[in-house]
Chains A and B, each alone.
Chain A
Amino acid sequence: MYRSYLTIASFKISKSRNCYDFFIKLLNSKTLLLLILCQTPNAYAESLVELSLEELANIQVTSVSKRSEALTDAAASIFVITNNEIQRSGASTLPEALRLAPNLQVAQDNSRNYAITARGFNSVFSNKLLVLIDGRTVYSPLFSGVFWDAQDVMLEDIDRIEVISGANTTLWGANAVNGVINIITKNAKQSQGGLVSISGSSNESYSAIRYGGKLLNDGNFRVYAKHAEVKDKRSESNSLSLNDGFKRDKAGFRADWVNDNKNFTLQGDFYDGYLNQANTNDIQISGANLLGRVNSKLENGSNMFIQAYLDYTYRNQPNAFKENLTTADIEFKHDWRIADRHNFTWGGGYKVGFDRLDNFSFAFLPAKKNLHWANIFVQDEIDLNEQLRLTLGIKFEHNNYTDLEYMPNARLAWKITENKLLWASATRAIRAPSRIDRDFFAPPLTAGSPNFDSAVAHTYEIGYRVSPNSDTLFSITGFYTDYDRLRTFELDTSTLAFVFDNNASGHSQGIEMWGSWQVRDNLKLSGGLVVQEVRVNTHPADILQASGLGINDPSSHSIVRVSYDFNANHLLDVTARHMGKLNNPAVPAYTALDLRYAWKVMPDLELSVVGQNLLDSKHPEFSNAAIRPEYDRSLFAKLQWYFR
């Protein structure tokens, strides 16, 4: 056994220089197979001896993670997906990882696309949820929404995903109407060393490699590359191929310099991919971004945050459009404490988007357009007394289409005891027009409307959060949102063209709750439930629902998770999700059961299997039967190997 470990160790050293070759060879390596055959649990203790004292001091001795952060003080409906939860869920893609947040509705539309929202209004064009990856927004100004098929992150390097349901416009601004997804990756110091991750099923395969090392002046870096490949699925109604598979490659880096008073981050990514499409050539996507960020503590005790990025995205949908969008963004935030009772924050930002389109069967006009967004905000957190904190804030945002918008927000938090918090909030949020609402032309029938205005939402929330001890957390939020000027799609009788307009109103109300309980060191239970009602009072002439731009929401959805460690090397996770039925297009309710079993063969090597959708032979999740696939039982296998 000792010999076989050494064999693999020397193999590791000699081959790690050529990483790609290496993991291919690793998989073909008879040594590894031999090692697995011979492996007994005892080998684990022995291999620990090969670690340095520092490395021993870094081993976490329980792997069912406790809450990573004290969230009991946040006066908002915020759920945090931790790195550990992502790893233990067996998720291979970002949208799949988002299923872990009880306050998100995640519906897979086809192999590559998703409909994701919080608090209703779900659609593949859902436009009320803002998504940021390390502070860079991926919300497209072309159609106000997220091209989920172009978003990818090395999941192993995510530190956490903060999912905030409800509007929090002072900090996030326009389009954060129903929520914000804030994806935060680890800083480079937390992702040192090498990692190879390979996973796949009969339809999907993913491989990723990352290496982190040191830089001058106490800096750290990591570089990564990821490949994803998913096969086409078949239509539920006629079994024809949907041509919805894809291939996508992504690579990037992150460098951090961290010291007591200043953190500096420089990061960038680039990707390209081919998305299959029915009856025409593949959709080509590519993009790149470069971001710099400084967080510093100034001498007077205040904090300063400055961030700037450049982002380029390219999307060529044959026979539809080709978009080249270059975005430059700069923002800053400065906060300090005044008179002991006020925590004052102000900031602002400016973003410019150079949008260049080649139009085909329909058009965005003008084809070349420069989009501008500018904002300024102030927020004051006032300690009324030791238990009561009032937060008042307002953001002013200027955009090309509707000029100046204002978004005020008030929050009151009552810290009843150290671990009980009652909070309430009132917010005005807007969904600003995008190019599709204003600049879209498909002559002779449809057109964007020059008068299309922002949708407005007024949200009222009340929430309670209790954490009786570090092992238990429970959160419940009640919400009511009143929507006005929602998008409609109507026949303009004067021009006989269908145009976008703002003639719908509506409301949503519901309860979100979730909790987690670390029963023992090796057993964690968690779960969440959302019950909601989403109502839209539309104009009689509106054909939005029939146009495919409509919304489709369940009245409830829920998730239950059990994480159990048989011991430090054998981990089990069971996840059950229930999604209520959707009405139009009709999608039956479904319950999906996923099971993951992981075996840490050595401290650095983990093998896992994930069984997905174990309860039903297959189920659809969104859209109508002709264009949607069904998701069947599948078996995923994954190998994850850390090296130095």
Chain B
Amino acid sequence: MSFLRVNLILILSLLTICFRTHHAIAKDAGDDLQSQVKSAYIFKFANYITWPEKSFADLLSPVVIGVVDDEVIATELEKIAGSYTAANRTVLIRRLTSKQVSPEVHILYLNATSTAYLEFYQKMLHHPSTLYITDTVEGLNLGGVINFVRDDNRIRFDVSLPAAEKNKIKLDGSLLTVARNVLK
């Protein structure tokens, strides 16, 4: 077993070298992970959605994900978009500020604070078929299609089928089976 130990020691010394200036910001634990899990969800949701045909100019048009007033989620999503595709398309992340209208957004994420602008976006967005993702208790009541909830120390989501229909997007059945609650 000694060669195992030698390798372990080697790995650990390398680990120490790698330990540069990771995460100097002290935040509530789990904040990083929560944002990472939510970003992964948001990105992956694109694989479970069918938009109306006109939503994309051509086969090469990217999926556009808008993030309102949330630097952390936007940064995480940009990192993912740098390496992965969704729904066989490249993904473009747009950082939006409150009441800033983007011409074309397929998915729009609004956090607990920016959900207040959901109604504004629904009226003003040029793109009629948008997946609105909210992150607050009242998310679905305010018009969100998917709303994140924290359940038993895990990040889950609820889905509103009426809201999906209103926004002319189809949700894949396998998305609904993972959802915590589906509003019909």
Contacts and interface: CB of A to CB of B under 8 A. Distances in A.
Interface string B61-101: 00000000000000010011001100000000000000000
Given A198-B8, A229-B1, A637-B9, A567 B29 contact: yes
Contacts of A200: 1, 4-5, 8
Interface string B1-38: 10011011111101101100011001111111111110
Given A45-B80, A56-B40, A566 B23 contact: yes
Nearest to B76: A45
Contacts of A24: 4
Given A57-B154, A200-B8, A567-B32, 16 more contacts: A2-B83, A24-B4, A33-B10, A41-B22, A46-B80, A48-B40, A54-B178, A58-B154, A61-B150, A62-B153, A205-B4, A520-B28, A520-B29, A568-B30, A570-B22, A637-B11
A566 B33 CA distance: 11
B36 A568 contact: yes
Given A45-B79, A45-B80, A57 B29 contact: no
A64 B30 CA distance: 10
Contact of B11 (A32, A49, A51): A32
Given A27-B8, A45-B80, A57-B156, A37 B18 contact: yes
A317 interface: no
Contacts of B153: 60-62, 66
A45 B12 contact: no
Nearest to B38: A56
Nearest to B79: A42
A65 to B, nearest CB: 8
Contacts of A63: 29-30
20 contacts: A37-B17, A44-B36, A46-B80, A53-B178, A57-B155, A61-B150, A198-B4, A200-B1, A200-B8, A205-B5, A229-B1, A521-B29, A566-B26, A567-B27, A567-B29, A568-B36, A569-B32, A607-B11, A607-B12, A639-B11
A358 interface: no
Contacts of B155: 56-57, 59, 61
B154 A61 contact: yes
B4 A522 contact: no
A60 B34 CA distance: 9
Interface of A: 1-2, 24, 27-28, 32-33, 36-37, 39-42, 44-46, 48-49, 51, 53-54, 56-64, 66, 198-202, 205, 207, 229, 520-523, 565-570, 599, 607, 609, 637, 639
Interface string B35-60: 11101110110001000000000000
Contacts of B17: 37
A571 to B, nearest CB: 9
Nearest to B31: A567
Given A49-B80, A58-B154, A568-B33, A207 B178 contact: no
Contacts, number: 143
Given A45-B80, A53-B178, A62-B153, A36 B14 contact: yes
A567 B4 contact: no
B30 A637 contact: no
A61 B83 CA distance: 24
A206 B10 CA distance: 17
Given A58-B154, A62-B30, A200-B1, A49 B84 contact: yes
Contacts of A207: 1, 4
B174 interface: yes
A54 B157 CA distance: 11
B183 interface: no
Contacts of B156: 57
B110 to A, nearest CB: 20
B124 interface: no
Given A599-B15, A639-B11, A60 B29 contact: no
A521 B31 CA distance: 9
A37 B28 CA distance: 27
Contacts of A569: 23, 32-33
B175 interface: yes
Instruction: Specify which of A33, A42, A198, A201 lies most central, judged by the most chain B CB atoms within 10 Å of its CB.
Output: A42
Task: Give the bracket for the number of chain B residues in contact with chain A.
Answer: 35 or more
Contacts of A198: 4, 8
B76 A64 contact: no
A129 to B, nearest CB: 32
B30 to A, nearest CB: 4
A17 to B, nearest CB: 21
B183 to A, nearest CB: 18
B15 A56 contact: no
A62 B29 contact: yes
Nearest to B174: A53
B154 A609 contact: no
Nearest to B151: A57
A567 B23 contact: yes
A167 B150 CA distance: 41
A525 to B, nearest CB: 14
B12 to A, nearest CB: 5
A49 B40 contact: yes
A568 B29 contact: yes
Contacts of A60: 153-154
Interface in B134-184: 150, 153-156, 174-175, 178
A523 B154 CA distance: 18
Contacts of A520: 28-29
Nearest to B22: A41
Contacts of B150: 61
A48 B28 contact: no
Given A53-B44, A200-B4, A36 B18 contact: yes
Contacts of A568: 29-30, 32-33, 36
A39 B32 contact: no
Contacts of B41: 53, 56
Given A39-B18, A45-B40, A64-B29, A202 B5 contact: yes
Given A229-B1, A599-B15, A637 B8 contact: yes
